[in-house]
A and B are shown apart, each in its own frame.
Chain A
Amino acid sequence: MIANIPLQYGLGLAVMLFGLGLIGVLVRRNIVFILLSIEIMLNACGLAFVVVGSHLNQPDGQVMYFFILTMAAAEVAVGLGLVMQMYRKFNTLDTNAINRMKG
């Protein structure tokens, strides 16, 4: 089944997802959407691992995806906690408004 899908298609999808996530990170001002876009980028990477792993008939890609999944979960937990704190402190989620740390 999955083996029938050519490598290029899978990787192309991963690149597209990664690009969408990156654009989201760059253009969105709301910190929650930025976190969301980072999740998309992470999952794009995960997809790339899985696709390549399946192409090479090796389980490593899927193992790697578990790592990414775990890390993403942890990241979201910490990230959302920080977002909560940020909202309490600044009453906004706009990253452009929160720019007090500068040189």
Chain B
Amino acid sequence: MLDFLWLIPVLPLAGFAILSLLGKRISPKAIGLVSVIPTGLSAIITAIIGYGFITSPPANSAFSQILWTWFQVGNFTPAIAFHLDALSMAMIFVVTFVGLLILIYSTAFMAGDEGYSRFFAYMNLFIASMLILVLADNLLFLYLGWEGVGLCSYLLIGFWYRDAKNGAAAMKAFFVTRIGDTAMAIGLFLLFTTFGTLDIQSLSQEISQQPVVTLAAILLLAGAIGKSAQLPLQVWLPDAMAGPTPVSALIHAATMVTAGVYLIARTNFLFIHAPVVLAAVAIIGAITLLIAGFSALVQHDIKRVLAYSTISQIGYMFLALGVGAWSAAIFHFMVHAFFKSLLFLCAGVVIIALNQQHDIFKMGGLRKQLPLTFWTFLIGCASLSALPLVTAGFYSKDEILWYAWSSQSGGSVLWAAGLTGAFITCLYSFRMVFIAFFGEPKSTVSFKTPLRMSVVLVILALLSLAAGFIELPDISAAKITFQIISGITSLAGIFIAYLLFYGDRRFIGYLLGSRLSVVIRDLWFADWGFDWLYNNLLVRPYQWLAFINRDDFIDSVYDGLAWFSRICNQVLSFSVNGNVRWYVGGVTIGSVIVIGIAILL
């Protein structure tokens, strides 16, 4: 059964090919089927392979399938090969199943859009690229998938390209991630020149502690930071919300942005030999989860709140990676994929139901109007806030906090940052719930959620609750203390969110009474001024340089050539004056010169 592994990425790729060739000629219904069925089949194959993988694991708990040699340059022969182990198993499980659910949701969400087939073509290409990324056996093939998902992210953020703002957001996402991608490419070059291979398995055996490994780890980390929107390259993700909501759910919450986490987990042998970099991963994660959490606390746009929340949750995964808790990071990735895509899809329903209204302060009382969405959104928020015992988020976040405290490279500071982050998470998630779903209705809703959307929401809600039981924590006295602490934190967070944001929000008024708190709020709202900083530090100087060099100075060479030929043209056309005697004079002088040269030489 494992031999069918190659079908998993190939099926969505085939879906992409069909849609891009025939998309304009077939009916919307057929487009929906062509886009959903390949991913559905991939999901089924994943389930079967997963079952086989667990019941009768292959040797070394890993399976490699080499299809063919990609190309050969000297002794560099990267293969088109897939590698399946527990890590990629978890990843393809999430990608295919969440991808399938979101595609089903999208068939209803995107109905009537003029780019219906284009949308699904991109989505299928994305799923195929993401599967290549997680299944790749060597880093070069992985990089192919890495760039593939980046491309699809760009195309889908700018999906509604008629609005120039969306195009700008798409370019911003592309450029910012490109900074990381370039660093990662250099890291790959470095690894290749040092070890002569990019094959992950052989690299993991050859690597030893040496300076070049640290450098390569830093470069790969830069790639991961760009893709996963961590400090200091997190600025693109909130703007990426310009894309359609299912895109935000699939690409910018569940899968692509966690590619950085996957990369670090996949190349953990590298990071283990670079403990400094690993510590940096933890610190970056801890800082990111805090600042993104604070930013999420003051946003108005429901999708931006969720975007900052995503950055913050990926910060948790980085924290886990940094303290060496690989499995906790991947566990949180999986749970996060479920509840965050659920939250985005709920937000999508709300946004459609209120005619493209994104501002949570213009929502209100949606609890009665969209009951199913309310309950599923509540479950998502509970899971995001790590509500104790019943939600999956509790188990995964608790694992991370536990390792942040107990692991060798962890410590009280990282743990405290994580716990504070958890508290803020409760605040902003229940802020959304209380403001958008409680209180007085501010608009009438006559939207009936299509069955396809409701089913997807319910399935994801169940997964957000139940996925935690896959990996129940082992019980020990110390651990229970920590669980109680984090449980109390999240309950306290929800309670304070209730005090602050439920009803007439009196306390917020008090809090915003002073000038300082208004300044802080504006700072958080503007993402701590990162956009402003980058605009003034990088974008505007660059634009200025481009402006003063608008007549490219290298062009001046070619302009000079053109000028020279024009001068020659003028001189020569002056000499062609139609006067026969002038020509005779020319011939005479020419002959004299030629004969003179012949005689003298």
A binds B: yes
Chain A residues engaging chain B, CB cutoff 8 angstroms: 22, 25-27, 29, 31, 34, 95-96, 98-103
Residue of B nearest to A38 (CB): B584
C-alpha spacing A31/B581, complex, angstroms: 10
Q: Is B576 an interface residue, CB under 8 A from the partner?
A: yes
C-alpha spacing A103/B579, complex, angstroms: 11
Q: Is B580 an interface residue, CB under 8 A from the partner?
A: yes
Chain A at the B interface: mostly helix, strand, loop or mixed?
Answer: loop
Q: Assuming A26-B588, A103-B575, A103-B576, what are 15 further A-B pairs, CB within 8 angstroms?
A: A22-B588, A26-B581, A31-B580, A34-B580, A34-B581, A96-B581, A98-B580, A99-B579, A99-B580, A101-B578, A102-B573, A102-B576, A102-B578, A102-B579, A103-B577
Contacts of A31 in B (CB 8 A): 580
Q: Is B585 an interface residue, CB under 8 A from the partner?
A: yes
Contacts of A101 in B (CB 8 A): 578
Decide: B577 and A25 in contact? CB cutoff 8 A: no
Q: Mark B559-580, 1 if CB is under 8 A from A, else 0.
A: 0000000000000110111111
Q: Mark B461-489, 1 if CB is under 8 A from A, else 0.
A: 00000000000000000000000000000
Decide: B572 and A103 in contact? CB cutoff 8 A: yes
Contacts of B588 in A (CB 8 A): 22, 26
C-alpha spacing A103/B574, complex, angstroms: 7
Decide: B581 and A103 in contact? CB cutoff 8 A: no
Decide: B573 and A103 in contact? CB cutoff 8 A: yes
Which of the residues B573, B575, B577 comes within 8 Å of A99, measured between beta carbons? B577
C-alpha spacing A95/B584, complex, angstroms: 12
Cβ distance A43 to chain B, nearest Cβ, rounded Å: 18
Cβ distance A17 to chain B, nearest Cβ, rounded Å: 16
Contacts of A22 in B (CB 8 A): 588
Cβ distance B599 to chain A, nearest Cβ, rounded Å: 14
C-alpha spacing A99/B577, complex, angstroms: 7
Q: Mark B325-343, 1 if CB is under 8 A from A, else 0.
A: 0000000000000000000
C-alpha spacing A25/B588, complex, angstroms: 10
C-alpha spacing A34/B579, complex, angstroms: 13
Residue of B nearest to A96 (CB): B579
Residue of B nearest to A37 (CB): B584
Most A-side CB within 10 Å, residue of B576, B577, B579: B579
Residue of B nearest to A101 (CB): B578
A-B contact pairs, 18 of them (CB 8 A): A22-B588, A25-B581, A25-B584, A26-B584, A26-B585, A29-B581, A96-B581, A99-B577, A99-B579, A100-B578, A101-B578, A102-B573, A102-B579, A103-B572, A103-B573, A103-B575, A103-B576, A103-B577
Contacts of B580 in A (CB 8 A): 31, 34, 95, 98-99
Contacts of B573 in A (CB 8 A): 102-103
C-alpha spacing A98/B579, complex, angstroms: 7
Residue of B nearest to A28 (CB): B581
Contacts of B575 in A (CB 8 A): 103
Decide: A102 and B584 in contact? CB cutoff 8 A: no
Residue of B nearest to A100 (CB): B578
Residue of B nearest to A25 (CB): B584
Residue of A nearest to B591 (CB): A22
C-alpha spacing A96/B584, complex, angstroms: 13
Residue of A nearest to B573 (CB): A103
Most A-side CB within 10 Å, residue of B575, B576, B580: B580
Residue of B nearest to A29 (CB): B581
Q: Mark B142-175, 1 if CB is under 8 A from A, else 0.
A: 0000000000000000000000000000000000
Residue of A nearest to B584 (CB): A25
C-alpha spacing A95/B578, complex, angstroms: 9
Would A95 and B579 be within 8 Å (CB), given that A25-B584, A26-B588 are in contact?
A: yes
Cβ distance A86 to chain B, nearest Cβ, rounded Å: 11
Contacts of B581 in A (CB 8 A): 25-27, 29, 34, 95-96
C-alpha spacing A98/B578, complex, angstroms: 8
Contacts of A34 in B (CB 8 A): 580-581
Residue of A nearest to B588 (CB): A22
Contacts of A27 in B (CB 8 A): 581
Residue of A nearest to B569 (CB): A103
Cβ distance B117 to chain A, nearest Cβ, rounded Å: 59
Contacts of B579 in A (CB 8 A): 95-96, 99, 102
Contacts of A100 in B (CB 8 A): 578
Cβ distance A4 to chain B, nearest Cβ, rounded Å: 29
Cβ distance B495 to chain A, nearest Cβ, rounded Å: 93
Contacts of B577 in A (CB 8 A): 99, 102-103
C-alpha spacing A99/B579, complex, angstroms: 5
User: Sorted from nearest, which 8 A-B pairs have the closest CB atoms?
Assistant: A99-B578, A103-B576, A102-B578, A103-B573, A95-B580, A99-B579, A101-B578, A102-B577
Cβ distance B115 to chain A, nearest Cβ, rounded Å: 57
Contacts of A29 in B (CB 8 A): 581
Contacts of B576 in A (CB 8 A): 102-103
Q: Mark B39-56, 1 if CB is under 8 A from A, else 0.
A: 000000000000000000
Contacts of A25 in B (CB 8 A): 581, 584
Cβ distance A70 to chain B, nearest Cβ, rounded Å: 23
Most B-side CB within 10 Å, residue of A27, A29, A95: A95
Contacts of B578 in A (CB 8 A): 98-102
C-alpha spacing A99/B575, complex, angstroms: 12
Cβ distance A65 to chain B, nearest Cβ, rounded Å: 22
C-alpha spacing A96/B585, complex, angstroms: 14
C-alpha spacing A29/B581, complex, angstroms: 8
Cβ distance B350 to chain A, nearest Cβ, rounded Å: 75
C-alpha spacing A29/B577, complex, angstroms: 15
C-alpha spacing A25/B576, complex, angstroms: 18
Most B-side CB within 10 Å, residue of A22, A27, A103: A103
Cβ distance A98 to chain B, nearest Cβ, rounded Å: 8
Residue of A nearest to B575 (CB): A103
C-alpha spacing A22/B579, complex, angstroms: 16
Cβ distance A59 to chain B, nearest Cβ, rounded Å: 27
Residue of A nearest to B585 (CB): A26
Contacts of A96 in B (CB 8 A): 579, 581
C-alpha spacing A95/B583, complex, angstroms: 12
Contacts of A103 in B (CB 8 A): 572-573, 575-577
Cβ distance B474 to chain A, nearest Cβ, rounded Å: 95
C-alpha spacing A100/B575, complex, angstroms: 13
Contacts of B584 in A (CB 8 A): 25-26
C-alpha spacing A12/B573, complex, angstroms: 38
